[in-house]
Chains A and B, each alone.
Chain A
């Protein structure tokens, strides 16, 4: 049986792979193969199954260390996101150090994985999938902190779900990852092939960020907006939500265009924007998807509107890449939660310790890295075992967490109950806190939705 299977595979490969010069041989083989060959899909399945079985066996064979747990993070550690992820990783390390490398009875080991490549300059699905598989196959890994980009989460979520490995993101904000009915059809169930939950995030999602940004614009007297997005999961998601809310509250949407984030310049696009005479230009995207270049071209095209960007651009690199003078006083950025300089209580302590240790102000997401690691340690402590399912359940059951971000918990989707959003403005080449946006209305609406959903079940 085995021999026959192998010979079939070899023949199949031969018939596909031989060059034209050996056409006669190829024809002969093909003639023979066509008599015996099972359908192509069946062969493909067999070929796929073999490595999976092998890997499964290998992983099963490796002995786990009963006194040790591993926490891994998967973040883009090369490219322009590095500055931001550096501070996230420092946050994670600080949380683990403060717990004295202990979570309950276990000794913690931390592994900092990279989901980007130098050649791509940003995250790639191959690297992210490889990290997820690596974490899955190591029985000591109990928590996966990641990802930074929502698109990357889409890749690793279904992989990690199969092993019930707790995945906690310090930065994903795309709504579809957790919230039913708000993302694409089938979301978020497609990320949960087992039907169980293992993903959660400590950062508020874009169903808050997009609409609240629109409300803020209306309050500022904005009448017409021009919306741009980078056509990625995160950027397009938040831009669409912003668009929707603008139409609801009567701000005129003068145009909505997706950019090609590999393009080098956007001068023609900015001429179109200028002709539409908007009061505000909204860009749903990140520094890595050419946020800086857009701001530059906007300025050189003579567009005098305000520029608003979501939290994907809230990093110093964004200001550096756009040129501070092009953003000065007119670029506003929304961010879920409080910026480092406005944190109080435990958060303030974190910022102080961070400054002391690294001699630098943390970037906006550092505290989320810290918080994610704290939740991870707490979950392992509560579960008291290395059972991945138990750890994920313990984390999802957290309803009241007193952390650096304040008092918050996870809701039934694995989202944070924190509903604060802040707007910052670029001043003197840095982000400066502008105001806090509270999501009272949105909060109520969400609860009503959740109740409605429950009563329907």
Chain B
């Protein structure tokens, strides 16, 4: 195929597909973060502002682990296993941390007004950010390229690398696992019960505190997985990344209907696609404005979000 002149290259089908691929990959990452928000909101109605910064701490741990283990110089097979181990380690770390925060900060405020845990979450976010500042230093840090950026498509027109594939695969696996957990396990049923009515759930013998702690652990573990994926995909981490991360993910959660897991995924994909297409066809500097304009329009016509339901069933 002859090369198109530059102004026509923008309207070719390949270009559109390429932008969609980038949008879906970015969107998957946003969705993964958004699921963590949605889990916690679904069960106790708390917008966990510290979630983005929790991911930042997970990324700090990932960087330290990679540095300490010498994974950079290991062979390809060892690297893949290393990535799996990183996912597990960071998931465990973030899950435990999130559960500890719930135990020591949100739990004592369970019966306080809604604003008290919300403000505490903002406080936790600042504490995390300062821990990250000590851990990483004030400058952005480069994350080593563990997964090779080899193109999966032959030819030069479409670019979809192992790194992109990793994002999509991990997000899909986690989403399926989470749906199965919520729909068809004992814990999932307990979670749905607590989300609908904590008092009634307690009356029928559900240990509400334990279920909430488990939810925080799962939400945090998702955040830990997101931190590894983020580090491998974006390859730059900094102590401030939590805010921007949290902003888009929270937007995605609201867009899809906060409290709903499929909603978070749909919201993330929509935001990812809108961002990449806006960057391609309108201009990079307008992407933020366009994303939030669309959010406002959707919320005006569907205040409960794309997949949100008006009922009290949230998880």
| Known pairs A78-B138, A118-B138, A296-B235; A269 contacts B159 (CB<8 A) | no
Residues of B with C-beta under 8 A to A269: 279, 284
The answer to whether B284 touches A260 (Cβ under 8 A) is yes
The answer to whether B142 touches A323 (Cβ under 8 A) is yes
- Say what secondary structure dominates the interface of chain B: helix
The answer to whether B285 touches A258 (Cβ under 8 A) is yes
Residues of A with C-beta under 8 A to B260: none
| Known pairs A271-B22, A277-B3; A292 contacts B140 (CB<8 A) | yes
A348 within 8 A of B: no
A272 within 8 A of B: yes
Which of B159, B275, B277, B279 has the most chain A CB atoms inside 10 A of its CB?
B279
B84 within 8 A of A: no
- Say what secondary structure dominates the interface of chain A: mixed
The answer to whether B26 touches A267 (Cβ under 8 A) is yes
Distance, CA A277 to CA B12, complexed state (A): 14
Residues of A with C-beta under 8 A to B234: 264-265, 293
Residues of B with C-beta under 8 A to A162: none
| Known pairs A262-B244, A265-B26, A299-B149; A272 contacts B280 (CB<8 A) | yes
The answer to whether A268 touches B138 (Cβ under 8 A) is no
Residues of B with C-beta under 8 A to A299: 149
Distance, CA A275 to CA B17, complexed state (A): 12
Min distance, Cβ B138 to any Cβ of chain A, angstroms? 5
List residues 122-142 of chain B with CB under 8 A from any CB of chain A.
133, 138-142
The answer to whether A317 touches B18 (Cβ under 8 A) is no
Distance, CA A276 to CA B10, complexed state (A): 8
Min distance, Cβ B67 to any Cβ of chain A, angstroms? 14
The answer to whether A264 touches B6 (Cβ under 8 A) is no
Chain B 129-164 interface mask (CB, 8 Å, partner A; 1/0): 000010000111110010001010000100101010
Residues of B with C-beta under 8 A to A276: 6, 9-10
Q: How large is the interface on A (under 10, 10 to 19, 20 to 34, 35 or more residues)?
A: 35 or more
The answer to whether A264 touches B245 (Cβ under 8 A) is yes
Which of A231, A275, A277, A325 has the most chain B CB atoms inside 10 A of its CB?
A275
Could you say which of A79, A268, A300 contacts B276, with CB atoms under 8 Å apart?
A: A268
Residues of B with C-beta under 8 A to A51: none
Distance, CA A271 to CA B12, complexed state (A): 12
The answer to whether A264 touches B244 (Cβ under 8 A) is yes
The answer to whether A268 touches B279 (Cβ under 8 A) is yes
Residues of B with C-beta under 8 A to A296: 142, 235-236
The answer to whether B18 touches A80 (Cβ under 8 A) is no
Distance, CA A63 to CA B233, complexed state (A): 59
Chain A 235-264 interface mask (CB, 8 Å, partner B; 1/0): 000000000000000000011011110111
Residues of B with C-beta under 8 A to A323: 142, 145, 235
| Known pairs A260-B285, A275-B15, A276-B9; A268 contacts B275 (CB<8 A) | yes
B224 within 8 A of A: no
Distance, CA A82 to CA B151, complexed state (A): 37
Chain A's closest residue to B129 (CB) is A119
The answer to whether A272 touches B138 (Cβ under 8 A) is no
Chain B 222-244 interface mask (CB, 8 Å, partner A; 1/0): 00000000000111101011001
Could you say which of B18, B283, B285 contacts A271, with CB atoms under 8 Å apart?
A: B18
Could you say which of A268, A275, A292, A293 contacts B22, with CB atoms under 8 Å apart?
A: A268
Min distance, Cβ B249 to any Cβ of chain A, angstroms? 12
The answer to whether A293 touches B9 (Cβ under 8 A) is no
Known: A80-B139, A121-B238. 9 other contacts (CB 8 A): A80-B140, A264-B236, A265-B234, A271-B15, A271-B18, A275-B9, A276-B10, A277-B6, A323-B235
A-B contact pairs, 14 of them (CB 8 A): A231-B285, A264-B244, A267-B26, A268-B19, A271-B22, A271-B280, A272-B10, A275-B18, A276-B9, A300-B159, A300-B161, A302-B151, A317-B139, A325-B145
